[in-house]
């Protein structure tokens, strides 16, 4: 059972989230639905570690905004996964949310698939969580965890969709973040740009095809790893590997 609390000043949003989660093939229970941060906090402060699994909160709310609510929660339940739900896609909102240890940043209107992935992730992490009490994270550790989740989610998407035409904006929409934020965070955490990381995946897959399916033509391999121009693919492969795909295939036979 995934126990979720929702804080959003738009009743239609709260009802929509409850409706969506009730129709998923997951056991989800909404334990509280509030129109402002203060009401949500008054309930949260009474809960223990095992009483709630996820907080979904809006940013702009009356009486207590989402950031203040998150600050209060971090002083009480530092381990609690939190997702920010907002109509704001600006980098500073996302970055500030991550500094508070937010697990995900969901843009309105929320996509069912993204919400499902979030809940599934919470469910899986809950299964791995030991029953015994564990040391709680510091705010810095919580923030690191949230940023780590975003980077790993980005890597996973690239590893699954390397054969498709890459668009940074589409990737950013998929993870519910600002494109500029994703680019900066990924480079900061991995030391590589998203493009360089994707090239590495594509070249590695091309090598597998060159050895595993030697009958494939050069242009066929290029297309399978996401390059419509075989000449460009050939130049890139040589730049990365020091030899052409043809030479690589011959050398590895």
The whole-model pTM stands at 0.53
Mind listing the pLDDT tens digit for each residue in 78-94?
Answer: 778 898 887 765 555 66
* Contact predicate 245/223, CB 8 Å: no
Model confidence at 232, pLDDT cuts 50, 70, 90, reads very high
Identify the helix (H) or strand (E) that includes residue 52. none
Tokens 């993870």 belong to: 175
Q: Which tokens in the block code for residue 24?
A: 């998923």
Domain assignment present for 8: yes
Tokens 């009474």 belong to: 46
Mind listing the pLDDT tens digit for each residue in 146-166?
Answer: 567 778 888 988 998 899 888
Domain harbouring 201, CATH code: 1.10.10.60
Looking at the fold, whether 47 and 139 belong to one and the same domain comes out as: yes
Taking every pair of Cα atoms in the chain, the longest distance, rounded to a whole number of angstroms, is 69
Mean pLDDT, the chain, as a whole number? 84
Helix 168-175 to helix 179-190 angle (10° resolution) is 90
Phi first, then psi, for residue 206 (nearest 5°) are -65, -40
- Its domain, for residue 148, covers 2-153
Rounded percentage of the chain residues whose pLDDT exceeds 90: 42
Looking at the fold, whether 117 and 236 belong to one and the same domain comes out as: no
pLDDT at res. 139: 43
Handedness of CA 127, 130, 132, 135 (dihedral sign): negative
């Amino acid at each position: 059972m995934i126990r979720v609390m929702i804080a959003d000043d738009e009743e239609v949003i709260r009802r929509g989230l409850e409706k969506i989660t009730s129709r998923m093939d997951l056991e989800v229970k909404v334990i509280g639905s509030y129109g402002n941060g203060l009401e949500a906090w008054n309930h949260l402060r009474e809960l223990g570690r095992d009483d709630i699994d996820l907080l979904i909160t809006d940013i702009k709310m009356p009486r207590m905004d989402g950031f203040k609510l998150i600050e209060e929660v971090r002083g009480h339940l530092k381990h609690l996964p939190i997702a920010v739900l907002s109509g704001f896609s600006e980098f500073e909102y996302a970055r500030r949310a991550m500094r508070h240890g937010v697990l995900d940043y969901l843009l309105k209107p929320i996509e069912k698939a993204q919400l499902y992935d979030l809940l599934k992730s919470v469910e899986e992490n809950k299964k791995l969580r030991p029953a015994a009490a564990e040391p709680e994270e510091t705010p810095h550790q919580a923030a690191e965890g949230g940023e780590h989740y975003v980077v790993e989610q980005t890597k996973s998407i690239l590893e699954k969709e390397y054969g498709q035409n890459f668009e940074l904006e589409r990737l950013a929409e998929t993870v519910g973040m600002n494109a500029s934020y994703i680019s900066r965070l990924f480079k900061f955490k991995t030391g590589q740009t998203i493009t360089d990381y994707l090239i590495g995946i594509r070249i590695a897959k091309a090598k597998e095809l060159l050895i595993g399916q030697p009958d494939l033509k050069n242009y066929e391999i290029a297309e399978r790893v996401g390059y419509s121009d075989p000449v460009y693919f050939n130049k890139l492969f040589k730049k990365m590997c020091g030899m052409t795909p043809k030479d690589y295939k011959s050398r590895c036979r």
